[in-house]
Chains A and B, each alone.
Chain A
């Protein structure tokens, strides 16, 4: 059974790119969220195997959302999506419990390599 992924990003355009990458890589994107609050709700509802999480989003940013998700499920695998120049925030997210990160604009092979490693398939 393919791994179930939740994609969180406030940009629909970015979500589409990431969804396409996952689809091509044999993952199943089971849900999307456009902000941190939604992300936490969707996670509780869907219990995905992996979350990709944008850093900067309205209502609740990716770091807070990650913290909240991990508070509910200590084993949650959250991979941050960051742009160049957001290194400090990514490190903060890692401190908060994110397991890895991918850099935007996402390149298919990088994203897949990272999530496979995280899922122990790499």
Chain B
């Protein structure tokens, strides 16, 4: 089967098969939660069927065989829905995972994992569901069937056939041959779904000469075969009855909430093309470079005579406007719905809950909200982590919940919404809540804060202790606090994309993790400052203000210099000392700018040598080994070509031995 070159279809196969498998597992989980319709089961079947078909076209026999067994089982489920229980659902999900592993193997160019035992299980389950047999003794079969009595879909539509055809390689005009076969079949009834599309068939763009159509007809199978046999150069590869005749994806129609990936019936589908995400990254990079280059032209113009310069500047302004427009469009193209993350959650929630013996209802809302793809990518793991935490540690076991007068089934709600120029993503549970006193105690024990500090620590800061590195990585603490494994990683990831993490928790009532995220990451407004011979950028968003004063007039508190800022007093630090770079000799009586910034530990005034101005720049992520340097969050290039490090202001005041070492090299 694989004698022709299918390699150029590989990436399409991977992406489409993955989409089908994700949809399958997502829909199955939804079906388990009780929203059962015949269409939903049909939809599961169709996903399996599509994957099988694609794998067959690619010549992946092992994948095809596995897909076929899954398809058989789902076909049986369709006819005997009362036999559909958790055991079957588990098996379907296992098959789904195994198929996903196959797809991944294709992507990685590795051999297919062995699925023989699973296939045997699928066959056994399929057979056991034959009408009149007793169900397999699945584990946990005590659970009532998830589907009540849903009769097999009655329909008075004629049966539908999936017909695969092959146009002979020796055919002089394969496109016309394929089209002829298509028309001939069309004379027997109604045709649906030609794959590849009819236009591609007509153009002769057939991989290995293969294409497939669905035909709804009252004709017999023999007559269909005869019709195909009357077309020269076209052979019938396979013909099989398709289960459901619905021309519209009714399962999706029936869903109360639909993500943008779901096609809403009656709505004009948007015209889209698939673009490699790397290409979008490159576009953004190039658009960013263009912005920089524009700034470079403006910079170069400064040496010109004033008349010439103002003329140049008019053009540069126009250019800048255009490039800005281009950049905005690229950013827009990168916007990705959060459903990319949330679509995986129901399945994950189900698995975690089952493993931990919890009863969970997962509610997902607002998955259509869009964010920059880079942010969505970064948030995948953190959100999954928050979900795991909520189920693992937040929601109590059913017995405990009953004792506390709560419904045995816990609710975890993941909601996403726009709030002006931010996106709020919340993971909320109705579990046991967090114990701030214990968090404080442990934080003091570990030397993260003093007992003094602990006493006055506001509630929200105390809750954030659960995301402090020293606390969260300790597993012993996890068990006590009920939170923590990798919470610091979550916080870091959120801040990395320019977001903030907030925790709201009430003992016995539940916990909400709120991520406040920017829509895009790439542009940042910087306040440029010089220290010694170097220029650094401070994100304007983190700058509270600038005060110019002399070092000699600074007040002191506990022997440390402090600066009066508004009504408050903030600690004053030398930025050079924090970064570990040599400072200029300074006269304590000379005026010095202090930039007041917001750090994790509160406001801090940073003494710098000079303020150089404000600039909107394109942020580039630091690559190895610079990403390991504490105190730096990114790098950019100014119009004059000079690289500027952007300071990780939130953590700048924390002890940073690495920054000191690396700062010396910078």
Is B118 positioned at the interface, with any CB of A under 8 Å from its CB? no
Contacts of A108 in B (CB 8 A): none
A83 to chain B, nearest CB (A): 10
A67 to chain B, nearest CB (A): 15
- A 98-110 to B, binary, CB cutoff 8 A, 1 in contact else 0: 0111010000001
Is A37 positioned at the interface, with any CB of B under 8 Å from its CB? no
Q: B173, B202, B231, B232 — which one has the most chain A CB atoms within 10 A of its CB?
A: B232
Q: Which residue of B lies closest to A98 (CB)?
A: B180
Contact A94 B180 (CB under 8 A): yes
Size bracket of the A interface = 10 to 19
Q: CA A114 – CA B180 in complex, angstroms?
A: 12
Q: CA A117 – CA B230 in complex, angstroms?
A: 5
Contacts of B180 in A (CB 8 A): 94, 100-101
A118 with B183: in contact, given A87-B173, A94-B176, A103-B173 (CB under 8 Å)? no
Q: Which residue of A lies closest to B177 (CB)?
A: A101
Contact A118 B230 (CB under 8 A): yes
A115 to chain B, nearest CB (A): 9
Contact A84 B172 (CB under 8 A): yes
Q: Which residue of A lies closest to B203 (CB)?
A: A87
Is A91 positioned at the interface, with any CB of B under 8 Å from its CB? yes
Contact B176 A87 (CB under 8 A): yes
Q: CA A82 – CA B176 in complex, angstroms?
A: 11
Contacts of B173 in A (CB 8 A): 82, 84, 87, 90, 101, 103
Contact A122 B232 (CB under 8 A): yes
Is A17 positioned at the interface, with any CB of B under 8 Å from its CB? no
Contact B176 A122 (CB under 8 A): no
B645 to chain A, nearest CB (A): 61
Total count of chain B residues near the partner, CB < 8 A: 14
Chain B binding surface SS class: helix
Contact of A94 (CB < 8 Å), options: B183, B230, B232: B183
In the complex, 17 of the A-B residue pairs with CB atoms within 8 angstroms, ordered by the A residue number, are A82-B176, A84-B172, A87-B176, A87-B202, A91-B175, A91-B202, A94-B180, A95-B183, A99-B184, A100-B180, A100-B231, A101-B176, A103-B172, A117-B229, A117-B230, A117-B231, A118-B230
A122 with B230: in contact, given A94-B176, A103-B173 (CB under 8 Å)? yes
Contact of A91 (CB < 8 Å), options: B179, B229, B230, B232: B179
B213 to chain A, nearest CB (A): 15
B203 to chain A, nearest CB (A): 8
- B 207-243 to A, binary, CB cutoff 8 A, 1 in contact else 0: 0000000000000000000000111100000000000
B480 to chain A, nearest CB (A): 74
A100 with B232: in contact, given A84-B173, A90-B173 (CB under 8 Å)? yes
Contact A120 B230 (CB under 8 A): yes
Is A113 positioned at the interface, with any CB of B under 8 Å from its CB? yes
Residues of A within 8 A of B (CB): 82, 84, 87, 90-91, 94-95, 99-101, 103, 110, 113-114, 117-118, 120, 122
Contacts of A110 in B (CB 8 A): 172, 232
A54 to chain B, nearest CB (A): 16
B174 to chain A, nearest CB (A): 10
Within 8 A of A (CB), among B152-198: 172-173, 175-176, 179-180, 183-184
A42 to chain B, nearest CB (A): 25
Q: CA A40 – CA B354 in complex, angstroms?
A: 75
Q: Which residue of A lies closest to B180 (CB)?
A: A94
A20 to chain B, nearest CB (A): 20
A103 to chain B, nearest CB (A): 4
Contacts of B231 in A (CB 8 A): 100, 117
A91 with B172: in contact, given A113-B232, A117-B231 (CB under 8 Å)? no
Contacts of B172 in A (CB 8 A): 84, 103, 110
B612 to chain A, nearest CB (A): 65
Contacts of A101 in B (CB 8 A): 173, 176, 180
Contacts of A100 in B (CB 8 A): 180, 231-232
Q: Which residue of A lies closest to B230 (CB)?
A: A117
Given contacts A100-B231, A117-B229, 5 further A-B contacts (CB under 8 A): A87-B173, A91-B176, A91-B179, A99-B184, A103-B172
A87 with B230: in contact, given A95-B183, A101-B180 (CB under 8 Å)? no
Contacts of B202 in A (CB 8 A): 87, 91
Contact B232 A114 (CB under 8 A): yes
Q: CA A82 – CA B175 in complex, angstroms?
A: 13
Q: CA A120 – CA B180 in complex, angstroms?
A: 16
Q: Which residue of A lies closest to B171 (CB)?
A: A103
B639 to chain A, nearest CB (A): 55
Q: CA A24 – CA B154 in complex, angstroms?
A: 55
B497 to chain A, nearest CB (A): 52
Contacts of A113 in B (CB 8 A): 232
B413 to chain A, nearest CB (A): 55
Contact of B176 (CB < 8 Å), options: A90, A117, A118, A120: A90
Contact B183 A117 (CB under 8 A): no
Q: Which residue of A lies closest to B173 (CB)?
A: A87
